[in-house]
Structure formats: structure tokens, C-alpha cells
Chains A and B, each alone.
Chain A
Amino acid sequence: MAGNNPTPTEYIQHHLQNLTFGNHPEHGWSIAHSADEAAEMGFWAIHLDTLGWSIGLGLVFMLLFRKVAQSATTGIPGGVQNFVELMVEFVDNSVKDTFHGKSNLIAPLSLTIFCWVFLMNLMDLVPVDVLPMLAQKVGAMFGADPAHVYFKVVPTTDVNATLGMSLSVFALIIFYTIRAKGFSGFIGELTLHPFNSPNKLVQALFVPVNFLLETVTLIAKPISLALRLFGNLYAGELIFILIAMIGLWQLPLHFPWAVFHILVITLQAFIFMMLTIVYLAMAVEKH
């Protein structure tokens, strides 16, 4: 909440601003005090809240699953092991259904994506004001103006986070394509598709058109992957913020939206995982 009596606009903007640490042209390496300062930092800035929460939640995933993996018995599994095995089998089946090549990477990759994205999305269900307010109190203890302490809890509502993941997936897509079909195969896929002709001259005319179309198709994959997740969660978060602004009436509204959002959270995590598998399967598949 910016100031004592923030206007709705200020309130929303405050909620949508990340805690940014970066190289400001005037103040040097510092935490941004406003959205403008954060924008002035350009590329050389880090969203501390996004990275902090995403890495923290990643560690939660990692430690939980590692603990189970270490003590995994072949006998009757206990509660947590049951859950982990359920997840692993679910992901394994999804991968086996779609990706028919042999790879030791795809399945763990998918598991990581699903669990991590799910946990990051799950932060959306924490009431919107709780953690930012806590952050403001902590910030105030360190002498910062509470109005300038920004804190965005859900990492997947930051396009950097989703794009970071989808670009990693994009790199894997290209790597797998080249590994399966060779570099010439990759270039061929970009240029000899979807229009081709046995006539060499006509084919030469088709190449630029194909290249344009296929490049757009290729680039659209990571962009759509990132923006789909980002857009869904951003919109959900925004609605939570809007509901939070209407005073006492927010109480009966928060609950149904949260219930509905559980679906979105799970679904988006699943979609991100499934599309990753599909893209990688397409990269490996021979036409």
C-alpha cells in the first residue's frame, strides 16, 4: 500500500511492481524505490522477490523429493513416498505417451517443470496482502520507506520467470532437433517446409517463404509457452488484487475465486509440462 491512503491505481501498481535490485544510472547498484527507477535500470537488474521465491520453492521441491528418493523403499511406501511416486508415475506416463524417443532428460525435466511451476503458482493462493505487508514491516525495520518496498510473491506473474524457463526449453528444442536430424536437417526443417516442390527453381522460390513461416512457428513456441503461463497467473493475481480492494465484500468473493484458481494453477503447470514434452517430441520426430 503506497502511502497511508493509496488510490486504487497506486494500490494495484504497487502490487504489480517487483522488488528490483539493479544498476541505476544515478544511484548505482541499489534497490529501486519506484517503478520508474526500476525501468531506468534496464536489463542489468534482478527481481529479488521473483528469484527468491522461485529458488526457495525450487529448493522445497528439491529437498522433499530428494528426501523421499533417498529413503525410497521397494516395500510398502509411506505417505510422502506415495505422493512422490504418484507424481513420478504420472509424469512418466505423460512422457511415455508423447515422447517416443529415448532420453534420460525429458522425464526429470517434466517432473521439475510440473512441480516447480505448480509450487510457484500456488503462491497465488496466499492472500495478496499478507506477504507484501510482512515485507513492508521488515523493510521498515531496516529503515526503508514502506511505500517503496515492493514485493510480488508469485514468481510466475513475472514474465522474466516464465520466459527464463521457456527459453531454456527452447534451447532444448533446438538441441534435440539438431541431435536427431543433424544441423542440415534443422535447416531443412526451417526452409523446405511446408511448401516444397520437386522443381529446383520453384523450391528456391519457396525457401524464403518457408523460412519466414517456420521461424515464426519456432519462435512462437517459447513465446506462447511463457506468455500463456504468465498471462493466466497475472490475470488471476490481478483479480485477487481487485477483489482485495472492495472492502468487506471481498470475503465471500475471495473464496470462490481461490477455488477456481486451484484449477488454473494445476492446469497451467500441467500445460507447461505437457507442451514442453510435445515440443521436444516434435523436435525428435522424423517427418
Chain B
Amino acid sequence: MNLNLTLIGQAIAFAFFVWFCMRFVWPPVMQALQERQKKIADGLDAASRASRDLELAEEQANETLRESKEQAAEILEQAHKRSNQMIDEAREQARQEGERMITQAKSEIEQEINRAKEELREQVSRLAIVGAERILESAIDEKQHGKLVDKLAEEL
């Protein structure tokens, strides 16, 4: 266990190994470690950003859904209103038509009545003439007494 040159040899070897480690081992390993660290940090960053984006998109989707629902409700309401209106209009039209038809029928009936009255009057006058002829027993000249007969018919 003598102290000898080994000590210096060991010191030199030590210095060499430390130098080698400092020059060729430490920097590349450290660099790799740091780069990986950065990569992982970037990855985590991207992941959190993506989740935030997703949240945003979900919110937007919900908003759009809500809006479209509102719109649909509005459209439905309008349609209801419109259909009610149409029904009302149709009802009104039908009523008017009915009224119109009724008045027409009434006027037709009146005309018919008038015509029937006229005819009746004519026939009565003719009957009256025939009756008068029978009574007078002479022919009444249609031409001569036409005026008289007409007057009679009018009076009836």
C-alpha cells in the first residue's frame, strides 16, 4: 500500500475520462433530453389547444342548434298563422258565394212568379173573353175588341 506513481496515473486517467465525458457524452445526451422535453411540452400544448378548440366548436354547434330550433319554431308559427288566415279567407269566400247564390235564386224565383202571374193573367183574360162570348153569343171580333180585351186583362 505504497503511495507511488499510480496516484498520478490515476489522476491523469481521471482527468482524461472527465474531459471525454464533458466533451463527447454530456452535451449530446443533454441535448437529446432537452429536445425531447421540448417535444413533449409542445405535444401537451397542442393537446390542450385542441381540447380548447373542441370546446369552442361544441359551443358553436350548440349555438347554431339553438338558433335553428328557434327559426323552425318561428316558421311553424307563421305557417299556423297563414293556414288560419287561409281558412278564414276560404270561409268568407264561401259565405259570399252562398249569399250570391241565394240572391240569384231569389231573383229567379221572383221572375218565375212574375211570369206565372203574367201567364195566369193572360189565361184569365182569355177565359173571360170566352166567357163573354158565350154570354153574348156572338163572336167578338178579336181585332175589334182587342183593345177592350187587353184593358180587361190588365185590370185583372
Contacts and interface: CB of A to CB of B under 8 A. Distances in A.
A72 B32 contact: yes
Contact of A108 (B2, B10, B22, B36): B22
B15 A68 contact: no
A165 B8 CA distance: 9
Interface stretch (A45-53, A174-182, A203-211): A45-53
B144 to A, nearest CB: 141
B35 interface: yes
A158 to B, nearest CB: 7
B48 to A, nearest CB: 21
Contacts of B9: 46, 51, 164
B148 to A, nearest CB: 137
A66 B7 contact: no
A164 B14 contact: yes
A145 interface: no
A234 B6 CA distance: 17
B14 A50 contact: no
B32 A165 contact: no
Interface stretch (B23-31, B58-66, B96-104): B23-31
A118 B28 CA distance: 23
B13 A55 contact: yes
Contacts of A108: 18, 21-22, 25-26
A58 B13 contact: yes
A5 interface: no
Contact of B17 (A72, A88, A116): A116
B21 A168 contact: no
Contacts of B20: 62, 66
Contacts of A22: 4-5
Contacts of B15: 168
B1 interface: yes
Given A72-B29, A161-B10, A47 B21 contact: no
Q: What is the predominant secondary structure among interface residues of chain A facing chain B?
A: helix
A92 interface: yes
Given A51-B9, A111-B26, A167-B7, A39 B21 contact: no
Contacts of A116: 14, 17
Contacts of A84: 29
Contacts of B24: 66, 69
A51 B4 CA distance: 12
A89 interface: yes
B11 interface: yes
Contacts of A164: 6-11, 13-14
A54 B10 contact: yes
A8 interface: no
A38 B1 CA distance: 9
Interface in B72-91: none
Contacts of A109: 18, 21-22
A159 B18 contact: no
A61 B25 CA distance: 10
B135 interface: no
B19 to A, nearest CB: 9
B28 A160 contact: no
B4 A85 contact: no
B2 to A, nearest CB: 6
B18 A72 contact: no
A77 B36 CA distance: 10
24 contacts: A20-B2, A20-B4, A38-B2, A41-B2, A42-B2, A43-B3, A43-B5, A46-B5, A47-B4, A51-B13, A54-B13, A61-B17, A62-B20, A70-B28, A72-B28, A74-B36, A85-B32, A109-B22, A116-B14, A116-B17, A160-B4, A164-B11, A165-B11, A167-B7
